[in-house]
Structure 1
């Protein structure tokens, strides 16, 4: 038996993967596939990937097929630092405007729609585009970028543009954290390869713990060589993110699912979040 393990190709989830014992996992027949969230969501749904970090929205669309691993997520309270709405006008004036949405995400796209429609009562026109701030804003009044695309865009944006952190907007209106990614496993994989999933889970937890113990410093050193930026930015960025999946993170995610369903973005309500408790023993 083997596992195909999906990795979201963004720095925000890197602490869960940075210290994985890849050689041990590969010796058990595991392989890794890095993809942006939208690609990974599709691969999980189609059965090409067995387990990995996926968009929270993708889990809501596949609750009958997926189970979540405990104590693992990419969540944020007062800001996420890598999911931004860039706008030519203040957010209060976006009603009737056009917004370009990144093609790389599902969770953030629907979070923006929930925020604008429920909290601001805006009616907005949307267009999905490949992530490029310049091209997106050439044709639209605002754009949504996520992950490393959003970080790089924020470093070079024009001063006249307004910039909004989606986690901050969510927290402002709900007082709850927002969970952007979860670690999901296909149910049939649990049935056939539970020991391998357990091995991966323990390695993910260890990676999360080591990242924290080392204050993300070895990882940040590598990121600086790849993406640049100021070390102080990356220090603050990772300190702001939450990698737990406690009751509070689950409450925030449940509210997000409820609002997405009420607005018609989910076909079925999410009655319960299924977490694989047995993996902890």
Structure 2
């Protein structure tokens, strides 16, 4: 019996994975499989993956299937730095325009729709989901949404494209005052019960990896990311300063507000009014 862990290649989720002792985990029954965010969401839903950093929207959509690991998320209190709406027009002029949405996203797609409808009161925008490709999206649409490393690379060449750009995390924070949690660390309920020891072992390693990657191994992590993706050391240091990897009460509060608006705008079939955790605070302290 193995514990299947979905791993997204995006830079924003690197810290909880960077310092894992993969050899030990694999020796004890863990198996890592690469996924894009949308693919991980689907694989978790279908039971092909037991644990993963899934999109927050996917958790809300399939809430009854999962429990969430405490103190682990991808969250921003303001700019997230890798979720951008790029546009030929100023934000306030997008009524009646057509916007391309990346097929790699769930949380960010609905975050954009919520922002445009709830706070800017737009009612006549055409959305089209396409494969993420900045040049093609820019050629065919008035604006386009990209996430993750696609968004970062496009941000670096924004002047060449001649576009306005809007960080969705910054917009959300300005309109609501809440942080936005983009990914949560979810465990299928069956795995949490049937593979408890492996889930415990993995969780402890996630927490330890996060601490090391954002602490004594931070410089190593930055070098590793530069080698894979380019960019300057200053850019990546600033990028990770804006990201938070906790999931405590304030993060839950912001996420529940996002769920409330998503339901009110018809993106959920039922309201999501609570978040089911894998362990209580006392249980986590005892485990760690």
Structure 2 Cα separation of the partners of residues 117 and 244 of structure 1:
29
Q: Does 1:245 align with 2:253?
A: no
Residue 136 (str. 1) matches residue 137 (str. 2) = yes
Contact 1:82–1:147 (8 Å) recurs in 2: yes
Name the SS for the 1:144 alignment partner.
Answer: strand
Partner of 2:196: 194
Equivalent in 256, 259, 269 of residue 257 of structure 1: 259
Give the Cα–Cα distance (whole angstroms) in 2 for the partners of residues 52 and 21 of structure 1: 17
Pairing 1:1-281 to 2, within 5 Å after superposition: 1-123=1-123, 124-158=125-159, 160-214=162-216, 216-277=218-279, 280=284, 281=286
Gaps of 5+ in 2: none
1:216 touches 1:238 (CA, 8 Å); kept in 2? Answer: no
In structure 1, stretches of 5+ residues that fail to align are none
Aligned equivalents of 2:144 and 2:240: distance in 1?
A: 24
Residue 213 of structure 1 and its aligned partner are, at CA, apart by: 1.3
CA contact (8 A) 2:55 2:183 kept: yes
Q: CA deviation at 1:150?
A: 0.2
| Superposed CA offset, 1:68-94 (max 9, x none) | 000000000111000000000010000
Q: Do the aligned partners of 1:216 and 1:235 also contact (CA within 8 Å) in 2?
A: no
Equivalents in 1 of 2:9, 2:128: separation in Å? Answer: 23
Counting matched residue pairs gives 281
Further displaced range: 212-221 or 160-169: 212-221
Q: Name the CA distance, whole Å, in 2 between partners of 1:255 and 1:82.
A: 22
Q: Which runs of 4+ in 1 moved over 6 A?
A: none
RMSD of the alignment, in Å? 1.0
Q: CA deviation at 1:226?
A: 1.1
Q: TM-score, normalised by structure 2?
A: 0.96
- Displacement of 1:214 in angstroms is 2.3
Partners in 2 of 1:27 and 1:244 — Cα distance?
Answer: 28
Structure 1 position 193, deviation (Å): 0.7
**Per-residue deviation, 1:217:** 1.2
1:214-245 Cα distance to aligned partner (Å, 9 max, x none): 26211110111111111100010011100000
Say which SS state the counterpart of residue 134 (structure 1) adopts: helix
